Structure 1
Amino acid sequence: MERYELARERIGEILEEKTVAEPYRDFFIKEAAFLKKVAAVMDHEQEREAWSLGEHQKLNHELYEDVLPENYENSYGNPAYAQKMLGEYGRDFTFLYTELHGTIAYAFEKKIWDLTVGFELFLEIYSAFSQEEIPSEKQVREILVSYVNDYCQDMVEERIREAIDAKDNFAVNIIMDSDLQDVRYLYRFGEFISDDQLQTAEFLNSLSQNEIDEMARTYTEGYRIGFITGRKDITKKKTVNIRYHLGFERMVKAAILQFKEMGLETVIYRHSLHAVNRRNQFRSGFTGGIANPQFDYDHRQDSALFMDSDFVKRKLRAMQTSYDEYEELAAVHGGPAVIETFGETPFSPVSKPESWNFTEAQQKLQLELDNESSQITNRYIKGDERSFTIIAYPVPAIGVKFPEIFREIVKINTLDYKKYQTIQQTIIDTLDTCEWVEVKGKGDNETDMLIHLHTLTDPKKQTNFENCVADVNIPVGEVFTSPVLAGTGGTLHVSQVYLNGLQFRDLKLVFDCGQVIDYTCSNFESEEENRKYIEDNILYHHPKIAMGEFAIGTNTTAYVAAQKYQIADKLPILIAEKMGPHFAVGDTCYSWAEDTPVFNPDGKEIIARDNEISEMRKDDPGLAYFGCHTDITIPYDELGSIRTVDDEGEMTSIIEDGRFVLPGTEGLNEPFEEQ
């Protein structure tokens, strides 16, 4: 606390000083003013309790305004602007800017340590530029790298603890203690609050408690049933992690209470803010609105500043010692329960050369870090003992019909799983008679794939495909398998798809022996940029990446709703994957739990849990996993056919011209007829 007070006082003095020369002084003055405002946030918490909604909104806007799209062109958070103004120091200062930006959240959570080390980092670099001879770019970078290395253990340890420890949970306390009818509570989290969060909270407040409870029950029961279908003992678990977007607190509060009935305490942690823990632009944990997705994208590889073999060893050592310390908490953690949102304005990023970007050597180090991190986590939160569930809802940005669309999604999330289970079993019974599946596009869609299935040695007791109903993966509507890589190949093509919030246009992946050997899209003018976009956001820089899953989506109700409301381009992959065949690149659906038997409702064991890559875990786990799983769906309107192929080349059609034709599946076409 002493260090914090000294740092805060010193930052206040900077505003009156002219020690640092331009062009650097402008950066320090602006950041000092920002940090002074952040410190005031923590100091005046009790005063804000009496504030009006407008006053909360004003502060929230002031804290995040610098990165908003309308201001971003002249923000030091923009690597292009930072380099324009500060030359060779640009990337270092834009890194510092982003690290300091996280102090907003720390002030609201009263995380004095995090505030202090951020303030002190700022002051150290300010002091370096206050000397007669300014530091070299290399010296500035060394200060930043030292900061990362000095505090790596602390930052990693806190991240691991907050993910599994339900004690004194900041977000849970807000949710359980606030009057959720008074939407001012949203401004207690310290996240950016856009119209989406505000209007979502207001909409949920218009629903009855029974409606809220039923939404939560679909979600929590999916989690519980996931343990049952996976033949895992939920009674051994004591905590569950809820990940969600602000605005859904009424549903989350109901879920917390329902999980408590199951004997589970809820853990809710914020998405990572320290560069040590951030991974790409993706947010894992609770989050508010994204003030500017381009800002997040520009800083997705900020760890290139410090990524070297020493850092990899340091972070892995920090993870190991932290999990050792919290071993008991990790052993009773059940896994995540995720609420996704969709409907936000589609984002197609601009790739900036001024951003931090991994070298080829750093990409390999990141892969090594991801691999080893996954293995450490799996040793303490065992894959064959944990489960998960995931569900998605729209936000108001989806359009003026938001309330209508929201209720349609609730309907889709609660479809009669028994009906789907029966129809999907019919599809599986046919698929189990063959060793190959052919998938072809129609019209301009160039898809032409051949999928090789595992051989069933005892068809009466074995199956290749999982009958997926509404448990871990809500809504219902798919049968899926892990293909044999040898013999699996062809071209996968989709005209447009959104993956992890990013738009891909005319995406093509070419497979040979089940692995991607070529790829392109049409997002950018140059082929080099298109390939890099795919390498960054689908392949994750693996020299070769395997097909981990092939599935047939059966949720035609979701597809028809998407067409009716013209929201197909805004649906999350969670729903989109149920609207046609999909292929996942990366790990199988059973990664880290391949040796755990999995059974369909008919009692047959799903034997297709491995492929030639994952089987290498027996000798070297480092070679067996990619650390990613990205689903890519061909929508029904781009789909020509799905046919099984037997050893004699005889074919049986499951889908022709985007419609189900296999006897016993006719019910799946009913939503099409109601269009």
Structure 2
Amino acid sequence: MDYRILLQKENDAVRERYELSMERIRSMDTEEMGLPYGCYFKKVSAFIRRIERLAKRVEETGLNGEEGLEGTSLTLEALQEENYALYKDILPENYRESFANPDYAVEVLGDGYGQLLSFLYTEIRADIVYAFEMRLMNITILNELFLEVYNLFAQAWEEGKNAPLEQLIKDSLYWFVSDYAEVTVDWRIREGLDPALSFGTDIVMKRDLTDLRYLYAYGEYVSETEIKLASFMNSLPQETIDQMASTYTEGFRKGFQVMGRDLKKKRTVVVEFQLGFERMIRRAVEYFREMGLEPICYRAAVESVNRRANGRRGYYGTSPNKQYDYDHRYDSALYMGNAFKERKLAVLRSAYETYRKEAAWCAGPALVETFGEEGFAPENKKSALALNAHQEALTLAYANESRQIVNQYMPGDETSFTIIAFPKPEIGPDFEAVFRETIRINTLDYEKYQKIQQCIIQALDEAGYVLITGRDGNETSMKVALHPLRDREKETNFENCVSDVNIPLGEVFTSPILKGTEGLLHVKNVYVEDYQFRNLRMVFKDGKVTEYSCGNFEDMGEAGAAGNDKSAEAAGTDKDAGAAGNDKDAGAAGDAGDARRQGQALVKQVIMRNHDWLPLGEFAIGTNTTAYAVARRFSIGDKLPILIAEKMGPHFAVGDTCYSFAEDSPMYNPDGREVIARDNEISLLRKTDMSKAYFSCHTDITIPYSELGDIKAVRADGSLIDIIRQGRFVLEGTEELNEALDEADDGAAGLDCE
């Protein structure tokens, strides 16, 4: 069935409102408007009229041309021109004078009005994808909101005023987001659960993927990245595509197998990817269908009520402008409050109740991540909307409570996931070689690593705690307390993780006991969620972060602090951490104390996720020295995602454990022993107060082998077992891992890699 047929009834019901609103917007061209706001309304109304023409074409000719899913009568050049026209206003070269830019909006429209009207325009820009998906309801309600705000100004002009009261505009925006949450939030839940909403799936499975015009059928921004990726994928032999897709889908299946969960009870799987990977995704869908799973391909959210502040989930194209995304990451500051939090939770609960059956059928997400793009150095703008301390607390509370609702309908102990990553062309001239090496890394010998890692686990299970130290300037000195084992023949502390849910393989991990876990975690350079941290330090006491800092702002003047090393966002939003966010008197870097406060703000925002403290949720030892060698050989260590980087040395994760919401489900290693370290003192609070048990975050920090000193397991009698000594595996049975480390050192000998 054509996806749009499902929307026909809804579109027919709203069509009169849609046409009336478009007619009214067209008539605005002839009206006198007061300056400077008239410029804004003319600009935005012109954009809406473009959307009207686009929607008409899509409705009349199919998804992207007369032949619909079978092809398009439009040339590639015509589609490229259309795509550029839709997104040109927010592209970096034009963004300086775009009303989507809060700086420009405030400059032209004034402080207060600028932020509100920039928010409105940004919401209206979601019309692009609504037009491609023929969601007339969403276009209509945004048209009506635009007209409501315009009428406030028109009335003010009639009364001889320059503008209406700012609060009137804010009220209109607030009630729009709140009242229509039943449309926007409900749809967001449905599109992540219902395979009948097959807009994305139809493109993947029915279009001619050798004709790159298919990329423009989504309505996403299409850059050279997507063109090059799709072309490269088309150049690969079918055997390679099969291997990539099989590794990905088998990882998902193995996740259920390893966790002892019944995949046969499930009917759907959520498939997430970047545009350009469709050839692999098509093959993966075929493999999933052989498992009895229908794909759900849903788009990354476009409206503020559903967007994530960090990262995107679903399918997506390259961002037309990361600064634009960054400027609007906290647009929820316009409406987040106690009442809205409860309103959104109520709508979320109602939506899951409506789609209860679909939620029970969903097996979980299968993600294809990408890496290789240049680092983003954001500008922190005082004009951008920002959460205050109360709103931060409400946002964290919403995340916690919403996760509990989701878990009621999709229990964590009944679903699984898988994640795999591949490079993008931006990684440089070695792209094809790095891609081939990534495939190799993703398909390393499962049984070989399982056996080596079992040796590590056997040694660690003799210990009461583990000592981890750094070298060559790394000051790490950590003690990690382990759960006592009653019977080592039947129980273990560490999970033997190979290539199932997290691809590539290569780690053993545990949930430490918090009491007795203490020390300093220090990394000279580490990337966390695309942000580089220099001299990151985190102090733990009884397993909880008590102090944190980074050196990103040391020896930097005002200009440097604004742009280098992806850390300008450090100016942050948390006043308690010394952030400069809304403090108009704060300098960019200032004295040492100011630099320290800004560094703390960066850590709190990105790693701590605005929590005042977090527990140590995971300790792991990565064993994928092959990945480390590849990173050194191609000098791409700073571009690898945490999915790969966490396998390249020991890592520590702050936040929830790896078993959150599934702690009571037994987990067994391949040797048959139960992994009993699934809880810590915080997660156990779920038995008395669920709100205190989880943090809705899990952030990994890896110490690379080059900075690693020793890892020693300490028995109850104080005797030591060396696992790693001066960055090399010395435990019997693990020595083979050093071959890749030696290769990395040899390959880097002539390079200035540090």
TM-score bracket, normalised by the shorter chain, equals over 0.9
Matching residue of 1:95? 119
Is 1:597 equivalent to 2:680 in the alignment? Answer: no
Instruction: Determine which of 8, 22, 25 is the counterpart of 2:22.
Output: 8
Deviation of 1:529 (Å): 2.7
2:209–2:278 CA contact under 8 A, matched in 1: yes
Matching residue of 1:565? 634
Deviation of 1:473 (Å): 0.6
Instruction: Determine which of 30, 38, 50 is the counterpart of 1:25.
Output: 38
Instruction: Determine which of 33, 51, 54 is the counterpart of 1:41.
Output: 54
Q: Which amino acid aligns with 1:130?
A: A
Q: Distance in 2 between matches of 1:468 and 1:283?
A: 26
Deviation of 1:632 (Å): 0.9
TM-score by structure 1 length? Answer: 0.98
Deviation of 1:84 (Å): 1.7
Could you list the structure 1 runs, at least 4 aligned residues long, displaced by more than 4 angstroms after superposition: none
Deviation of 1:561 (Å): 0.3
After superposition, the C-alpha distances for 1:291-345 in whole angstroms (9 at most, x for unaligned) are 1112111111111111111111111111111111111111111000000000011
Larger mean Cα displacement after TM superposition, 437-446 or 581-590: 437-446
SS state at 1:70 partner: helix
Larger mean Cα displacement after TM superposition, 401-410 or 7-16: 7-16
Q: Distance in 2 between matches of 1:13 and 1:442?
A: 70
SS state at 1:64 partner: helix
After superposition, the C-alpha distances for 1:228-266 in whole angstroms (9 at most, x for unaligned) are 110000000000000111110001101111100000000
Is 1:191 equivalent to 2:220 in the alignment? Answer: yes
Q: Distance in 2 between matches of 1:349 and 1:431?
A: 42
Is 1:114 equivalent to 2:183 in the alignment? Answer: no
**Residues 135-146 of structure 1 mapped to structure 2, 5 A cutoff:** 135-146=164-175
Deviation of 1:191 (Å): 0.7
Q: Distance in 2 between matches of 1:269 and 1:168?
A: 8
Matching residue of 1:302? 331
Q: Distance in 2 between matches of 1:529 and 1:508?
A: 14
Deviation of 1:531 (Å): 2.1
Please give the root-mean-square deviation of Cα atoms over the aligned residues, in Å. Answer: 1.3
Is 1:656 equivalent to 2:729 in the alignment? Answer: no
Matched residues, number: 674
After superposition, the C-alpha distances for 1:502-549 in whole angstroms (9 at most, x for unaligned) are 333332222111111111223343333322222222212222111110
Deviation of 1:128 (Å): 1.1
1:417–1:469 CA contact under 8 A, matched in 2: yes
Larger mean Cα displacement after TM superposition, 641-650 or 385-394: 641-650
Is 1:506 equivalent to 2:535 in the alignment? Answer: yes
Q: Distance in 2 between matches of 1:207 and 1:373?
A: 42
Deviation of 1:567 (Å): 0.6
Matching residue of 1:72? 95
Q: Distance in 2 between matches of 1:98 and 1:489?
A: 46
SS state at 1:637 partner: helix
In structure 2, relative to structure 1, the CA distance for the partners of 1:332 and 1:323 (3 Å cut) is same
Instruction: Determine which of 103, 108, 129 is the counterpart of 1:85.
Output: 108
Q: Distance in 1 between matches of 2:534 and 2:200?
A: 37
Deviation of 1:649 (Å): 3.0
Instruction: Determine which of 41, 48, 60 is the counterpart of 2:83.
Output: 60
Matching residue of 2:561? none
Q: Distance in 2 between matches of 1:43 and 1:547?
A: 54
Is 1:468 equivalent to 2:482 in the alignment? Answer: no
After superposition, the C-alpha distances for 1:251-291 in whole angstroms (9 at most, x for unaligned) are 11011111000000000111111211122132111111011
Consecutive unaligned residues in structure 2, runs of 5 or more: 1-14, 66-71, 554-588, 590-594, 748-754
Deviation of 1:501 (Å): 2.6
Q: Which amino acid aligns with 1:62?
A: A
Is 1:643 equivalent to 2:712 in the alignment? Answer: yes
SS state at 1:130 partner: helix
Q: Distance in 2 between matches of 1:8 and 1:523?
A: 50
Q: Which amino acid aligns with 1:303?
A: S
Q: Distance in 1 between matches of 2:238 and 2:193?
A: 29
Is 1:169 equivalent to 2:238 in the alignment? Answer: no
SS state at 2:710 partner: strand
Deviation of 1:18 (Å): 2.6
Matching residue of 2:557? none
SS state at 2:276 partner: coil
Q: Which amino acid aligns with 2:364?
A: G
In structure 2, relative to structure 1, the CA distance for the partners of 1:420 and 1:96 (3 Å cut) is same
1:281–1:299 CA contact under 8 A, matched in 2: no
Q: Distance in 1 between matches of 2:30 and 2:710?
A: 71
In structure 2, relative to structure 1, the CA distance for the partners of 1:644 and 1:348 (3 Å cut) is farther
Larger mean Cα displacement after TM superposition, 207-216 or 245-254: 207-216
Q: Distance in 2 between matches of 1:649 and 1:73?
A: 63
1:175–1:253 CA contact under 8 A, matched in 2: yes
Consecutive unaligned residues in structure 1, runs of 5 or more: none
1:477–1:578 CA contact under 8 A, matched in 2: yes
Q: Which amino acid aligns with 2:728?
A: R
2:230–2:277 CA contact under 8 A, matched in 1: yes
2:191–2:197 CA contact under 8 A, matched in 1: no
Q: Which amino acid aligns with 1:14?
A: M
Is 1:415 equivalent to 2:444 in the alignment? Answer: yes
Instruction: Determine which of 254, 259, 264 is the counterpart of 2:288.
Output: 259
Larger mean Cα displacement after TM superposition, 469-478 or 65-74: 65-74
Q: Distance in 1 between matches of 2:126 and 2:726?
A: 51
Q: Distance in 1 between matches of 2:545 and 2:48?
A: 47
Identical aligned residues as a percent: 50
**Residues 532-547 of structure 1 mapped to structure 2, 5 A cutoff:** 532-547=601-616
Q: Which amino acid aligns with 1:93?
A: L
1:241–1:336 CA contact under 8 A, matched in 2: yes
Q: Which amino acid aligns with 1:44?
A: R
Matching residue of 1:607? 676
Q: Distance in 2 between matches of 1:52 and 1:345?
A: 31
**Residues 350-499 of structure 1 mapped to structure 2, 5 A cutoff:** 350-499=379-528
Matching residue of 2:574? none
2:454–2:496 CA contact under 8 A, matched in 1: yes
Larger mean Cα displacement after TM superposition, 423-432 or 83-92: 83-92
After superposition, the C-alpha distances for 1:163-189 in whole angstroms (9 at most, x for unaligned) are 110014100011111000111100110
Instruction: Determine which of 686, 689, 697 is the counterpart of 1:620.
Output: 689
Larger mean Cα displacement after TM superposition, 435-444 or 224-233: 435-444
In structure 2, relative to structure 1, the CA distance for the partners of 1:31 and 1:662 (3 Å cut) is same
Larger mean Cα displacement after TM superposition, 511-520 or 39-48: 39-48
In structure 2, relative to structure 1, the CA distance for the partners of 1:649 and 1:277 (3 Å cut) is same
After superposition, the C-alpha distances for 1:330-371 in whole angstroms (9 at most, x for unaligned) are 111100000000001111322222211111111111111111
Q: Distance in 2 between matches of 1:419 and 1:36?
A: 61
Is 1:128 equivalent to 2:136 in the alignment? Answer: no
1:245–1:339 CA contact under 8 A, matched in 2: yes
Q: Which amino acid aligns with 2:99?
A: Y
SS state at 1:95 partner: helix
After superposition, the C-alpha distances for 1:597-655 in whole angstroms (9 at most, x for unaligned) are 00000001000000011000011111101001111111111111111122333222211
